[in-house]
Chain A
Amino acid sequence: MSLEQQQQVIQYVPFTSFVHPSFWHSLTDIKLNVDKLNESTKQIYGRFTYRDDIGTVFEVDGTSFNKVPETEQMYYNVTGTIMNKNTIEDFKNIDKAALLNSIGEIIWPNIKRKTWISNPNSLLSFIILSFADLKKFYYYYWFAFPCPSQPTVYLIDKSQPISTVFSNKQLEELSVGFKSLDIEQKCFFAITKEGESIYVKPMSKILDPNKPTQNAIDIDVVFAFIDPSNGPNPGWPLRLFIAALLDHCPSLSGTDVTIIGIRSSGSGTLNNSNVYTIAIPQNLQKVDSSGWVGWERNDKGNFGPKLANMSASMDPIKLADSSSDLNIKLMKWRLVPDIDVEVMKHTKCLLLGAGTLGCQVARDLLAWGFRHITFIDNGKVSYSNPTRQVLFNHRDCLDGGRKKAEAAAQNLKLILPTVNSKAIVAHIPMPGHPVGESLLEETVTNLKLIIEAIAEHDVIFLLLDTREARWLPTLVAAHHGKIVINAALGFDSYLVMRHGVGLRCMESAVSVNSTYIPGGLLGCYFCNDVTAPGNSLKDRTLDQQCTVTRPGVAAIAGALAVEVLVALLQHPLRVEAPALYNFNGDEDIASELQGVLGPIPHSIRGFLHSYTSVTPTCAKFKQCIACSDVVINKYREKGTEFLLKVFNSGKYLEEVTGLSELQLAAEMTDILTFSDEDQDQE
């Protein structure tokens, strides 16, 4: 060794692990269906390439678990082991150094037995230590590529291009010889020179496995390995090769050895291969006494595990959530660029009634991307319900029936697990339905629940089967300035409407010639004639409490109710969004009267009999029994006391509003919307 030469301890470029998503899919599948709680170690395959344009990447994928590895050009398969731990503690607590050494204790005797000479690929191996958190789809993993830490050798000067030692003709011979090698002989082999020609030979043609050591090696032999590195330093496999070579040929100590790192171009030529001249010191440290190294560094550059967070692509709940979201975003990207997709996610909807309409509205809300849905209902699911009430199934009817609000909220989660659905089981107190002593406490509790729920939500849907039940929520929602969407059904007709808000009667001097009414001044269900249109009356059954509607009516009305809400939310004025007034259908609608999704009607009355609908607009009624200033003020002053008075006598409202002509009792018993319930309802 000449002292002028630059000598540096050789730096092997370690492998960088690269995991294909399908690897985690296969691991999960095996863990859930084969291994279950077994913590067995498994033989797997990994591979690296000696292409010069990629680098020292070591890959595993879904086929790594196959019995026979898949082959790919310019890739080399390595047999390894995966140790998948059952708990994160086991994963953390395992002694990593001892684990590597125990692998070394398996590899080294193989080297001593000389099996590597005929099977050079047995030198290469890898370990994956892993823990799969299959609830979160987090995979903790750590790769190791075991190598003995000794012997230490030196690189003389820098590595040189192969053209410095081989002619073009010889390179051609190398390429042909390399291609004809058996695949498992390709990782470590020898090149001999005879005259001007070179020949590629497997290790077993040069080294004799039957001799414990060999001293004389033909000076015209150079050794070669497939080199994953694409920089000036050699790749990791050389480290094992040198350890094995020096064990078999101790006489190489004190000499310089030339080793070729085979690197292939994309088209298969070996012209970019590298030549390393390596100085072997005189006194080599024994492999046996030194430890084994090879744990991979993580992204921070530390020796530590890596984490694959696969939840976005593997967790079925996240997949469902993001896919349904995407559907709504597509609308924005492709058709309605101005739509605000976030507003639906954050708007909290309260559905009063979890019957035919309630179920329908909830499903449409879900489809539009609403994620906060609360049901209030006091009923139970009966045998007749599931065919019409689309959130229920037969099982919900058994054993006396589940509470509708609870069944609806839970079944909504079966459709989309991430929905925030809640149930409030409460009876809605009604005017003219006196509260006796015995029910007083329960009624006050219910009132509190309902009033709090209205205050907490942004939108109140009135989907109840009686007119009286709509009075309390109409009043409380108007007081709180909430958006109210009301839907009611007749036999073959429906009404869908939005309400105005708050103390607005005094400003409601809407001119009869105006082209619009501001949203806040629109009438409520009780301001307007709510007589269900058409010939529904004559089709009533003797029991007026039961549902006699054409099944499509609820689906149409429910869908329209949600569409009206969405149109309203997309309007910059929201609840104040104007409704067209005195519109004859001929002229163009001014843009300020429209939202992103078009003009928003006050009400829609549809008639299935003639397959038509109309969109009438009405202003607030100054003497309305539910939303007039005088009623709201009375509620603000007296609260529950006022409400209880109204429940005990409908006449009281008549006094308050001064409607001597209002025949409240008659009105209240005139059921204009039919029950969702069948005869089995109490």
Chain B
Amino acid sequence: MDIDTITPEDFLASAKHFIEISDKIHDGWRIYEHKNEIHKSYIKKEAFITFKSQNELCLYKIEYVIFYNLSYGVPSFSFNVWNSPGTLLKLEEIRQMCFIQITKEEFYSVITQQEHPIFHRPYFIMHPCHTAQLLKEFKNKSRNIVVTFLGLISPLLRLNLSLEYGL
């Protein structure tokens, strides 16, 4: 078996386990299972965030989606941020409201806007080749691949991962 990738079944099992913990701690993640094509199953969380723009505190909604990337055989992370009329924020706006200090080049080399393979609408997607590299390190030590994956990327985004997931 190729040790760098995981199967859709692995992904779904990890995702279900992840949702169990989320439900227990009211973290708001939901699972959307696709019965016929399990690789189209995904988990999603929506949350409000506030961000100060031009000295005004603005309310935004952020949606996180973790889905299975069929070509790379890894979990993929995608997200969108929008304001109250529903207009999506641009990549540069997202980098500025980021999350962590990161240069434009580094941020853009990891996150790009593209058509979402499941929703067919524009989303910001973390490039899966980085994911494969990262997960390779943790593959055999990880108890839950989704938790490991989120733990690795959460510093990049304002996504607080409760310690409960690791316990």
Contact = CB atoms under 8 A, between A and B. Distances in A.
Given A266-B26, A268-B26, A333-B109, A139 B121 contact: no
B87 to A, nearest CB: 6
A309 B108 contact: no
A22 B123 CA distance: 12
A306 B85 contact: yes
**Interface size of B as a range:** 20 to 34
Interface string A15-43: 01111111111000000000000000000
Contact of A23 (B25, B86, B113, B122): B86
A25 B88 CA distance: 13
A323 interface: yes
A20 to B, nearest CB: 6
B144 interface: no
Interface string B72-89: 000000001010111110
Contacts of A319: 122
B84 A310 contact: no
A21 B121 contact: yes
Interface in B133-159: none
B2 to A, nearest CB: 25
A1 interface: no
A316 to B, nearest CB: 11
A552 interface: no
Nearest to B122: A313
Given A18-B61, A268-B26, A312 B86 contact: no
Contacts of A22: 121
Contacts of B25: 267
B109 A21 contact: no
A22 to B, nearest CB: 8
B105 interface: yes
A538 interface: no
A337 interface: yes
A307 B85 contact: yes
Interface string B92-121: 000000000000110011001111000001
A334 interface: yes
Given A309-B87, A333-B108, A20 B82 contact: yes
A337 B113 CA distance: 19
B84 A329 contact: no
B13 interface: no
Given A19-B86, A333-B108, A313 B59 contact: no
Given A57-B48, A310-B86, A323 B109 contact: no
B17 interface: no
Contact of B48 (A24, A54, A73, A267): A54
A300 to B, nearest CB: 12
Contact of B26 (A17, A73, A323, A330): A73
Contact of A312 (B88, B112, B115): B88
A386 interface: no
B80 to A, nearest CB: 7
A55 interface: yes
A139 B85 contact: yes
Nearest to A19: B86
A308 interface: yes
For B82, B84, B86, B87, the residue with the greatest tally of chain A CB atoms inside 10 Å of its CB is B86
Nearest to B60: A18
A301 B2 CA distance: 58
B90 interface: yes
Contacts of A266: 26
A656 interface: no
Contact of A19 (B59, B80, B84, B121): B84
Nearest to B107: A333
A19 B85 contact: yes
26 contacts: A19-B85, A19-B86, A21-B82, A21-B87, A55-B59, A57-B48, A139-B86, A266-B26, A268-B26, A306-B84, A306-B85, A308-B86, A308-B87, A309-B85, A310-B87, A312-B88, A312-B90, A322-B113, A323-B114, A323-B115, A326-B113, A329-B108, A330-B108, A333-B109, A334-B108, A337-B105
Given A57-B48, A334-B108, 7 more contacts: A24-B86, A55-B59, A306-B85, A312-B90, A319-B122, A322-B113, A333-B105
Interface of A: 16-25, 54-55, 57, 73, 139, 141, 266-268, 306-310, 312-313, 319, 322-323, 326, 329-330, 333-334, 337
List the 7 closest A-B pairs by CB distance, nearest first. Answer: A308-B85, A333-B108, A19-B86, A21-B86, A313-B88, A18-B84, A267-B26
